[in-house]
Amino acid sequence: MKTVDVEKENPDLESVIALARKGPVLLLTPDGREFFVSEADDFDKEIEALRSSSSFQRLLDERSVSKHRIPLEEIEREIERESGEQKKRT
């Protein structure tokens, strides 16, 4: 799995897609959010690749010891807000 810090590398969409053709891509944003990009048809392959990825396992280990937690209610509110914004645009 390739990890890309978008603040440092500033990739364009074509570059991200080219990387995702080779394997899953984890995008790290300046605000600390993470986005996962992979080819949609290869979901089963991606699961296996992530299971055997030492860098992904390290990421999970690091996140599991992190004290920063987001309450489920906050996540639900954000999903509802984003869903409402998306409905307004369509």
Spell out the SS3 assignment of the chain: CEEEEHHHHCCCHHHHHHHHHHCCEEEECCCCCEEEECCHHHHHHHHHHHHCCHHHHHHHHHHHHCCCCCCHHHHHHHHHHHHHHHHHHC
Residues for the chain: how many in total? 90
Q: Cα(71)–Cα(30) distance, rounded to whole angstroms?
A: 21
User: Domain spans of the chain?
Assistant: 2-89
Q: What is the pLDDT of residues 44-75, one digit of tens each?
A: 777 888 888 888 898 888 888 878 888 899 99
Asked if 59 and 26 touch (Cβ cutoff 8 Å), the reply is yes
Q: Cα(41)–Cα(43) distance, rounded to whole angstroms?
A: 6
At residue 48, the pLDDT reads 82
Amino acid at 10: N
Q: Is the pLDDT higher at 5 or at 38?
A: 5
